[in-house]
């Protein structure tokens, strides 16, 4: 009797409907994650468009789950699993899209800083260098403003020249003046 009741609960909703709820929720939460990040980084127009799509999906999925939850608890489980998966996939997607700008600060030996600056400039980025004194030797601080997308290539080039360099990354929300390699953006 128990197993029969459990089987009825698990199979009252078709697997296709549960999968639709699950994947729709992943898409909705992933869009919400992207929307939040876009707003923080100043991309208002794309964020508004994502919000529109996100809320439309939410209304239909949530209403389907809420109206059928008593008859099919599996809808709630699919909804919850979709939400958790959406948070993960949204963060992975944002990392791949790499919105925004970074300040790459590098503390390198004074001897290798000239070579690093030349290489970074060859990559199309402006570099500002400042003389500094470390604990043992003279150092240079190199500051590079660049897009998040492609920033790992710059860091790899820096580390290839000076493997002992310290590299610090900071997100930048506003930049004004100076030489900034902007590239083309379809969002802003």
84 and 7 assigned to the same domain? yes
Domain membership flag for residue 188: no
77 and 13 assigned to the same domain? yes
Cα of 163 vs its chain's centroid, Å:
27
132 and 167 assigned to the same domain? yes
Lookup: tokens for 14: 């078709």
* CATH number for the domain that contains residue 145: 3.30.70.120
79 and 11 assigned to the same domain? yes
6 and 67 assigned to the same domain? yes
Cα distances (angstroms) measured from residue 67 to each of 60, 64, 82, 138, 180: 11, 6, 18, 69, 53
106 and 75 assigned to the same domain? no
184 has a pLDDT exceeding 60 = no
Under the banding of pLDDT at 50, 70 and 90, the label for residue 143 is very high
Overall average pLDDT of the 113-139 stretch: 89
93 and 134 assigned to the same domain? no
Beta-carbon contacts of 80 under 8 Å, excluding residues fewer than 6 positions away, are none
Q: What value does the mean pLDDT of the chain take?
A: 85
Beta-carbon contacts of 24 under 8 Å, excluding residues fewer than 6 positions away, are 57, 60, 61, 82
> Which alpha helices (H) appear in the chain, and where do they start and end?
2-11, 15-40, 44-68, 73-97, 110-122, 151-161
105 and 71 assigned to the same domain? no
Q: State the pLDDT at residue 182.
A: 56
117 and 137 assigned to the same domain? yes
Looking at per-residue pLDDT, the higher value among 153 and 98 belongs to 153
**What range does the domain containing 119 cover?**
101-172
Residues in the chain: 188
Domain membership flag for residue 140: yes
Domain membership flag for residue 177: no
């Amino acid at each position: 009797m128990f197993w029969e009741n459990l089987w009825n609960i698990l199979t009252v909703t078709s697997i296709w409907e549960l999968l639709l709820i699950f994947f729709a929720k992943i898409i909705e939460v992933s869009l919400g994650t992207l929307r939040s990040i876009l707003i923080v980084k100043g991309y208002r127009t794309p964020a508004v468009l994502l919000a529109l799509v996100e809320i439309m999906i939410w209304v239909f999925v949530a209403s389907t789950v809420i109206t059928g939850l008593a008859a099919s608890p599996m809808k709630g489980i699919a909804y919850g699993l979709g939400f958790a998966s959406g948070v993960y996939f949204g963060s992975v997607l944002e990392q791949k899209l790499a919105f925004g700008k970074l300040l790459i600060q590098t503390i390198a030996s004074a001897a290798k800083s000239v070579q690093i600056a030349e290489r970074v400039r060859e990559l199309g980025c402006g570099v500002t260098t400042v003389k500094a004194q470390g604990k043992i030797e003279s150092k240079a601080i190199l500051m590079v403003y660049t897009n998040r997308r492609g920033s790992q290539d710059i860091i790899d080039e820096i580390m290839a020249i000076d493997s002992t360099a310290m590299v610090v990354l900071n997100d930048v929300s506003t930049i004004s003046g100076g030489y900034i390699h902007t590239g083309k953006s379809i969002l802003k």
